[in-house]
Amino acid sequence: MIARARITASGRCSACGKLQVRLETNGMGKVVEIPAPCSCPASPKRAKKPLREGVDHDRRRAGICQDCDQPVAGKLKVSLRCAEHTKAARAASVKRHIDRLPPERKPWRLYQARHPERARASSRATYQNDPGKREERNEYKRRYRKLNRHKTRAQKKRAAVKNAAQQAKIREEIKAGVRQRRPSRRKRNGERLCITPGCVRVLTGRPKKCEYCKHREAREAVEFLAPRRGHGRRRAA
């Protein structure tokens, strides 16, 4: 009859003298003790690890992918999927992990904080090389300006003050004949028209667009921006 082993005061097996723990780092540089019981005949048998749920173990033992009929990529009876589905499963696992993180710990937020100039350059390149995205943003900005005319007017005033030197340079180029003045929309008799294409309403004074076009564009802007602000129709559940 084999005598049962016991752990001595020094932390070693009484049968074979093997140390029952090993020293390893915990991933952050700190040394910790990890239990490592010996496998001598006198040591108690370990309990079998329960099989993983949600896995077809017959396919695993046969070396067949869990999601298709292709052979697994990796060690036989250990790997679960082929190369294609392994990549997809890993991407889904990473996405689930990122979704659980708080907003300030998202990988792209950390990257933007560490490399702001590189992140802005990458964002500009992505935006400039996508005509569909550029048109969508430009349409949003056009509708926003129509709906928030007072903000747009204030911003134009700030821009006029900031670009005073550039405007003076343009006037000098026009006076010297290097640059041509943009022609205005006027009738043959000198009456000025609304700048909206297709509109033939005559304007007087400083406005460049008639009131009818302004109200129509404001209504279209409200219809366009309301769903994006959460005030539009609710989506069907």
Mean pLDDT across 88-96: 93
DSSP alpha helix (H) spans, the chain: 57-62, 83-100, 107-114, 116-128, 131-147, 149-162, 164-176, 211-225
pLDDT computed for residue 6 by the predictor? 57
What's the pLDDT band for 43 if we cut at 50, 70, 90? low
Q: Which residue has the higher pLDDT, 108 or 3?
A: 108
pLDDT computed for residue 97 by the predictor? 93
Q: Which two three-digit tokens encode residue 58?
A: 């017959």
Cross-strand partners of 23? 33
pLDDT computed for residue 2 by the predictor? 45
pLDDT computed for residue 206 by the predictor? 77
What's the pLDDT band for 208 if we cut at 50, 70, 90? confident
What's the pLDDT band for 195 if we cut at 50, 70, 90? confident
Least confident of 7-16, 105-114, 174-183, 225-234: 225-234
Between vectors from CA 18 to CA 17 and to CA 20, what angle results, nearest 5°? 125
Q: Which of 145, 137, 134 is CA-nearest to residue 220? A: 145
Q: Which residues contact 226 (CB under 8 A, 6 or more apart)?
A: 232
pLDDT computed for residue 4 by the predictor? 54
The half-sphere exposure of 103 on its side-chain side, counting CA atoms within 13 A, is 0
What's the pLDDT band for 26 if we cut at 50, 70, 90? confident
Q: Which residue has the higher pLDDT, 51 or 47?
A: 51
What's the one-letter identity of residue 220? E
Q: How far is CA 160 from CA 26, 129, 156, 179, 209, in A?
A: 60, 30, 6, 20, 20
Model confidence pLDDT, tens digit, residues 70-85: 999 988 888 999 999 9
Cross-strand partners of 203? 192
Tell me how far apart the 2 most distant CA atoms of the chain are, in Å: 121
Mean pLDDT of the residues in the chain: 82
pLDDT computed for residue 11 by the predictor? 65
Q: How far is CA 199 from CA 17, 25, 165, in A?
A: 97, 76, 34
Asked if the model's pLDDT at residue 38 lies above 80, the reply is no
